[in-house]
Amino acid sequence: MSDTIWFAEDGAKNVIIRYRCLQTVYSGRSRFARIDIVDTAEYGRMLFLDGIAQSAAQDEFIYHESLVHPPMLMHPNPRSVCVIGGAEGATIREVSKYPQVSRIVMVDIDEELVGICRQHLSSWSEGAYDDHRLELHFADGRRFLEQAEETFDVIIVDLSDPTEDSPAVFLFTREFYQVIFRRLSPDGIACFQGEDLQPTRLALHARMVNTLSSVFKWVVSYPCMIPSFHEMHSLILASKELDTRTVDLGHRLRSQNLDLHYLTPFFLQGLLCVPGYVERAYAQHPDLITDDRPSLYQV
């Protein structure tokens, strides 16, 4: 075993996760992040940004289906969708499965990363970057929405963690959530990457939920277990007027001709809930995330 190569995820100071590496596909830096793409024995090809796992070929569908389809199914007739982030292209892949959608706007700050993903992770996007409905912008997502004049039925915020010096830091604040609120149609739905649900790292998720609740009338979080992350992750739904608890997502999924691998009508019936320790964390971390008090990802 002396010739075995291991790729170590060095995004945490107390835990190191090592993946047996078959080959390094790409290693370099963009303007915004260190980028590593490696082929692993357990999870297939994986993308790491600044040493933190972002996606794996074997289970990325769990995260991306959980991120995209609840808000898309919750909206009565989504026609326009905006995706903030999502360089791998898997988020727009899932959005493009809805034929009623006429406009998909994707905004990612890192043009180099998107190009690398299109070259080395083409199975993630499955041609979604060539969809005629897609309008791709390389820009700061917050600034783009601040300057936009249109509204969207669904906004999906698929960001990397707000680590120190990350451009994502100010896309987790109350001020940014207020921008999203203004850019949603009256019955619009937003969904956010909600960080991990490890009992020792709940502060960021809990503060996100409380901050969103200060802006939106209805906010609900839900978990998804992602094996390659070795953790339970979370997503957060927010709506201006629609009570997310009243929508039968299972029934709506049955009416759609969607090719999904993770979500089923029965599974969706119990999706929108979190464990008790997470609910208690919302009371334990009441401080809102603001531009003058941003919250960093705790490594």
Q: What does the pLDDT look like over 204-250, one tens digit per residue? A: 999 999 999 999 999 999 999 999 999 899 999 999 988 777 889 99
Q: Measuring CA to CA, which residue among 230, 232, 165 is closest to residue 221?
A: 232
Please tell me which residue in 110, 158, 161, 196 is annotated as part of the active site: 158
Each residue's pLDDT tens digit, 67-107 = 999 999 999 999 999 999 999 999 999 999 999 999 999 99
What is the second-level CATH architecture of the domain 60-284?
3-Layer(aba) Sandwich (3.40)
- What pLDDT does residue 164 have? 75
CATH of domain 5-56: 2.30.140.10
Report the distance separating Cα 108 and Cα 87, nearest Å. 7
| 50 catalytic residue (yes or no) | no
Task: Kindly give, in sequence order, each residue whose CB lies less than 8 Å from that of residue 143, ignoring residues fewer than 6 positions away.
Answer: none
Report the distance separating Cα 78 and Cα 68, nearest Å. 12
Q: Where in the chain is the domain with CATH 2.30.140.10?
A: 5-56
Q: Where in the chain is the domain with CATH 3.40.50.150?
A: 60-284
Which positions of the chain have pLDDT values less than 70? 1-2, 10-12, 296-299
Q: Measuring CA to CA, which residue among 70, 67, 95 is closest to residue 80?
A: 95
H or E, element range at 95: helix 90-95
H or E, element range at 123: helix 122-125
